[in-house]
Amino acid sequence: MSEAKPIFDFEGFYRALDATRASRNLTWKQVGLEAQVNPSTLARMSQGKRPDADGLAALAAWSSLNPADFVTSSRKQRTQQSESLARISQLLRQDERLSSEGAKALEEILKAAYAQLAKRS
């Protein structure tokens, strides 16, 4: 039984990049300037087109996102789904902008929403 070919989750990367941009209160123009990425690259990405390798590398470095985290295969996807709440909780606790009470409150909200919305297998 062979494993499915790994696929880069571009949509997930773009959403994470957008979340980083929003959390830093930046416009896409400012992202382009800071990451040293051509504005046309960002415009193409907003239309669902993939950046070139240099653009992806520059945006990954600017955002501290690891592109490898967005490569999926069916085995990796199953593991990630089972651990997603644990990873989110860890990130919330590490966020310096949140108090420990704030992180815990968000964690509880996410757990409740996840339980309500998770697909039953």
Greater confidence, 88 or 53? 53
Which CATH architecture describes the domain 7-71? Orthogonal Bundle (1.10)
With b meaning 16 or more CB within 10 Å and e meaning fewer, what string describes 49-87?
A: eebeeebbebbbebbebeeeebeeeeeeeeeeeeeeeee
Predicted pLDDT at 3: 61
Identify whether the C-beta of residue 73 lies closer than 8 Å to the C-beta of residue 31.
no
Map out the domains of the chain as residue ranges: 7-71, 77-117
pLDDT tier for residue 37 given thresholds of 50, 70 and 90: very high
